[in-house]
Structure 1
Amino acid sequence: MKHWFLYVLLCSDGTYYTGVTTDVRRRLKEHNTSHRGAKYTKTRRPVEVVYWTDFEDRSSAQKAEYKFKQLTRKQKEKIINEIRLNSIITNDSM
């Protein structure tokens, strides 16, 4: 069974782009280099992944994407920053 991912990109103009995919690395490459990237990110390159999380199916990932897109920028940044902080704390404790 494929896992699906919700991912958030930080665009060069400081805006966020949110999407779902089965392969975050491939999708990031498409956003940055190919015609297969989203129209929104084509004029805001380069983009970088600032957050991602996995789901068991596409439906769950898309529902989470919808909910994430409804958040304010401040709420999105809080989630992204908390994940980064947790990652730093986890890596420091090893």
Structure 2
Amino acid sequence: MLSYYVYILKCADNSYYIGITNDLDRRIIEHSTGFNRNCYTFKRRPLKLEFQQEFNDVLEAIYFEKKLKGWTRAKKEALVKGDFDRIKILSECKNETHHKNISK
């Protein structure tokens, strides 16, 4: 059975890169050596693997990757640190019109 990995790299400029692969070791080597000059990470080396999550279903991995790419930097940093309570707090709606924030 093939495994899929969603991963987060921290770049030299402190930005994050999120990707998906079925061979994490190979992909990290490709990023680190500058295999693809057009890749986001090419000019942002050196890189550090900050997070990885394994999936058995490619569709679940793709869904998770897209979800992470939509997250704020703060949520990504909380994930890297394993601070799931912080992720929950950062995920709560802060709009004044949200039902939790309306004064009764």
Aligned residue number for residue 44 of structure 1: 44
Change (3 A) 1:68 1:32: same
Q: Distance in 2 between matches of 1:78 and 1:60?
A: 21
In terms of mean alpha carbon deviation, does 35-44 or 51-60 score higher?
Answer: 35-44
Change (3 A) 1:61 1:43: same
* 1:14-60 deviation line (CA, Å, top 9, x unaligned): 00000001111111100011423761000101111100001112211
How many residue pairs align between the two structures? 83
**Is contact 2:36-2:42 (8 Å) kept?**
no
**Is contact 2:11-2:48 (8 Å) kept?**
yes
Query: Which has the larger share of helix?
Result: 1
Q: Which AA in structure 1 matches 2:57?
A: D
Q: Which runs of 5+ in 1 are unaligned?
A: 84-94
Q: Distance in 1 between matches of 2:13 and 2:34?
A: 19
Q: Distance in 2 between matches of 1:27 and 1:16?
A: 15
Q: Distance in 1 between matches of 2:37 and 2:26?
A: 10
Q: Which structure has the greater CA radius of gyration?
A: 2
TM-score normalised according to structure 1 size = 0.81
Runs of 4+ with >6 A deviation = none
SS in structure 2 opposite 1:18?
strand
Q: Which structure is richer in relative contact order (CA contacts within 8 A, separation 6 or more)?
A: 1
TM-score normalised according to structure 2 size = 0.74
Q: Distance in 1 between matches of 2:37 and 2:22?
A: 15
Q: Distance in 1 between matches of 2:17 and 2:38?
A: 9
